[in-house]
């Protein structure tokens, strides 16, 4: 029962704001753009990209989440900034406002774009009740049809897509058979490609889609080895997904080049893969070899439940904390059992510059 609960937690919160809208200046971002960047950012994804769409009952809305930024819970699955915030900072855009909170701000705020990502979601339905990618795009389409954004706005925009990890967690929860995995991966990629074409068809200028990070290196799965060894099984799933994703995107570009279609322009700058797998691995290696680091093991989470059955943010009767936070979250790569800390995301971001530059 305990293992089932742990896997359910993995499924619900894998990945990828409130009124606090972070803006990390592009001048401080490593490898910032030299050309005119996109003016709007639209985000579709899971908890790695969510900045406040999940309901207040979510763990992302309780302490100690948000303790580094903005100093209180903001709906981010981290102690601070997440992938969306760093990508927005690269282009000098304010982190786009969460779709769920769109009616609580003036329209001027929405001109930075909008974030449709919900923690726990996937390309398909997962164990979470929040909207999957198709429904997130429906929300976006509704905004376009309501003229929240003009064609000019959309043509100078970029979309961030960060999804699929929860799809494979849900596959495991539903006891999918190993021999069924290749066909399931193919179905995930096929639907993802269809969704990317749909986003482009709605007028978005450029799209960046994340490759899956090393799923087997998440603390939820490395705990059995005292956070020393990644799960080869889960890492292989991520590699197969990433291989199929790149092959499908290349086939799409090739076919469009032949037919003259422009749904996802054959230009290499119209669609970019953000290689989270390589970025995570590079960040791990960097932190392991950096002298003077207070965090010796990048695979060990900072915030954890005190005993089995509890997790980061768990509170018992009379507000008693059933979790502990490490002494140095500012040098811990993982915040909880699934999600990077602000420090972790900044380390990952430092290895994404070349990919982001293709979107200029």
In-domain check, residue 230: yes
pLDDT score recorded for residue 262:
56
In-domain check, residue 89: yes
pLDDT at 22 over 60: no
In-domain check, residue 52: yes
Q: How many domains does the chain have?
A: 1
- Choose the weakest-confidence range: 41-45, 135-139, 182-186, 259-263: 259-263
In-domain check, residue 324: no
**Residue 166 sits in which domain range?**
2-291+345-357
Number of other CB atoms surrounding residue 341 within 10 Å:
28
In-domain check, residue 134: yes
- Per the annotation, the verdict on 47 as an active-site residue is yes
Q: pLDDT tens-digit profile of 281-310?
A: 999 999 888 755 555 689 999 999 999 889
Give me the chain's average pLDDT, please: 87
In-domain check, residue 10: yes
Position 266 confidence tier, pLDDT thresholds 50, 70, 90 = very low
Percent of the chain with pLDDT over 70: 84
- Per the annotation, the verdict on 339 as an active-site residue is yes
Alpha carbon dihedral 280, 285, 288, 292, in 10-degree steps, equals -100
How far apart are the C-alpha atoms of 147 and 141, rounded to whole Å? Answer: 10
**Which whole-number Å values give the CA distances from 163 to 39, 121, 160, in the listed order?**
23, 8, 10
In-domain check, residue 340: no
Phi then psi for residue 113, to 5 deg, are 115, -160
How far apart are the C-alpha atoms of 309 and 286, rounded to whole Å? Answer: 33
Position 56 confidence tier, pLDDT thresholds 50, 70, 90 = confident
Q: pLDDT tens-digit profile of 238-255?
A: 999 999 999 999 998 887
pLDDT score recorded for residue 292:
55
Q: pLDDT tens-digit profile of 195-225?
A: 999 999 999 999 999 999 999 999 999 999 9
DSSP string of 18-75?
Answer: -S------GGGSTT--SSPPPSEEEEEESTTT-SS-S-TTSGGGSTTTTTTTTSS--S
CATH code of residue 142: 3.40.50
pLDDT score recorded for residue 358:
82
How far is Cα of residue 286 from the mean position of the Cα atoms in its chain?
21
- Per the annotation, the verdict on 336 as an active-site residue is yes
Query: Average pLDDT of 48-52?
Result: 97
In-domain check, residue 305: no
Active-site annotation holder among 58, 336, 341, 355: 336
pLDDT score recorded for residue 253:
80
pLDDT score recorded for residue 295:
52
């Amino acid at each position: 029962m305990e293992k089932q609960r742990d896997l359910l937690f993995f499924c619900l919160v894998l990945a990828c704001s409130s009124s606090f809208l972070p803006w990390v200046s592009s001048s401080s971002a490593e490898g910032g753009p030299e050309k005119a960047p996109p003016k709007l950012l639209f985000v579709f994804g899971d908890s790695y990209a969510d900045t406040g769409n999940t309901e207040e009952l979510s763990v992302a809305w309780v302490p100690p989440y948000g303790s580094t930024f903005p100093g209180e819970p903001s709906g981010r699955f981290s102690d601070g900034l997440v992938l969306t915030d760093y990508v927005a900072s690269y282009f000098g855009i304010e982190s786009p406002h969460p779709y769920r909170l769109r009616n609580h701000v003036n329209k001027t705020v929405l001109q930075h774009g909008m974030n449709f990502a919900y923690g726990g979601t996937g390309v398909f339905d997962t164990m979470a009740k929040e909207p999957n990618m198709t429904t997130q795009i429906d929300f976006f389409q509704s905004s376009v049809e309501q003229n929240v954004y003009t064609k000019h706005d959309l043509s100078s925009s970029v979309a961030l897509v960060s999804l699929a990890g929860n799809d494979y967690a849900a596959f495991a929860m539903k006891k999918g058979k190993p021999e069924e995995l290749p066909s399931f991966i193919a179905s995930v990629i096929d639907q993802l490609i269809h969704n990317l074409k749909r986003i482009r068809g709605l007028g978005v200028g450029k799209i960046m889609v994340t490759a899956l990070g090393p799923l087997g290196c998440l603390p939820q799965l490395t705990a059995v080895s005292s956070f020393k060894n990644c799960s080869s099984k889960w890492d292989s799933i991520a590699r197969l997904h990433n291989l199929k994703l790149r092959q499908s995107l290349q086939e799409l570009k090739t076919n469009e080049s032949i037919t003259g279609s422009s749904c996802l322009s054959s230009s290499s700058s119209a669609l970019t893969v953000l290689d989270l797998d390589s970025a995570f691995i590079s960040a791990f290696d960097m932190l392991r070899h950096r002298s003077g680091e207070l965090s010796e093991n990048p695979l060990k989470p900072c915030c954890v439940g005190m005993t089995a059955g509890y997790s980061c943010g768990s509170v018992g009767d009379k507000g008693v904390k059933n979790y502990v936070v490490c002494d140095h979250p500012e040098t811990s790569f993982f915040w909880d059992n699934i999600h990077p800390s602000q420090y972790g995301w900044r380390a990952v971001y430092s290895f994404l510059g070349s990919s982001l530059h293709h979107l200029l």
